[in-house]
Structure 1
């Protein structure tokens, strides 16, 4: 495994918190992402559902991060927060396109594409497999604090101090080198 693959995940720098379960019909742990979750494919946010979070949870946040992007700082594909605590599932496409199924009150921050939505996997050709870390955070407040124009780093700062628990699901995607 290359050194690049040993890059830590963003929440590795946060205080430890309990975990809970997140599953998906679109993303399988350690498996290749479906074309629907690829930027040049369907570019649709995946279906996610979660349970086992602390009863005092007041909202959720969902992120997708590629720690293997050749940027020195990874790449944020999705940053969504202020999801009401009554919502425990996002349907496919809730964070993209017409955003059908996006919970009322949920806020998209800018991703590293510069848009306020889910941006699919797009690793450089020949760069090897990239991990796409989908994380659901159980949050201790209804409103996390930042505005929609916040950077992923600012949202991460707030999540560091307001996460009660975390769940993650990691898929992979690779574009082979040109022939």
Structure 2
């Protein structure tokens, strides 16, 4: 069942431009398929968040947020898989499987309706979906949001507090 629709734009192309910094992972790579270990349990995956490491962000960075978004989800608004906020500026790596267990930080509810990381889960037979993992370097220590905030509300706040952004875009597909 391939859903016949145009490729969605990159979600960060429509936001005010910011500088970039370096994001790497030992688990996922730009344009490469993710292992099922990082897919959601509803599609037989391990639902583990991938390892992420970042560097070369602006000196004035006071905090970070990490997000994962699928712009290819057939929803009209994409699908938020992970929104982790209020990471201290001293945090430069998340180990594989951390989910939302990070001291002094928390996740808002993702589009699965749970807090923490929710792995890839595209419709079976659909084209490969892009999963945009982004680390946002912030000009504040903490965003003024609570765990009940929506990903869209966090995104609105990120638009006004992001100094720089680093992204990595692996893919995932479930063949029929």
State the 1:159 CA deviation.
Answer: 0.3
Root mean square deviation of aligned Cα: 1.1
Measure, in 2, the Cα distance between the counterparts of 1:41 and 1:135. 21
Partner of 1:124: 123
1:8 Cα deviation (Å)?
Answer: 1.7
TM-score, normalised to structure 2, is 0.93
| 2:83 is equivalent to residue 83 of structure 1 | no
Aligned with 2:12: secondary structure?
helix
Give structure 1 regions of 4+ aligned residues with deviation exceeding 4 angstroms. Answer: none
- In the other structure, the counterpart of 1:174 is 173
Superimposed CA distance per residue, residues 159-178 of structure 1 (whole angstroms, 9 cap, x where no aligned partner): 0000000000000010112x
TM-score, structure 1 as length reference: 0.92
**SS of structure 2 residue aligned to 1:82:** strand
Q: Distance in 1 between matches of 2:31 and 2:127?
A: 14
Give the aligned partner of residue 73 of structure 1.
Answer: 77
- Taking the TM superposition and a 5 Å limit, the aligned residue runs for 1:7-18 are 7-18=8-19
Distance 1:109 1:13 in 2: 23
In 1, Cα distance between equivalents of 2:91 and 2:76: 34
SS at match of 1:114: coil
5+ unaligned residues in a row in structure 1: which ranges? Answer: none
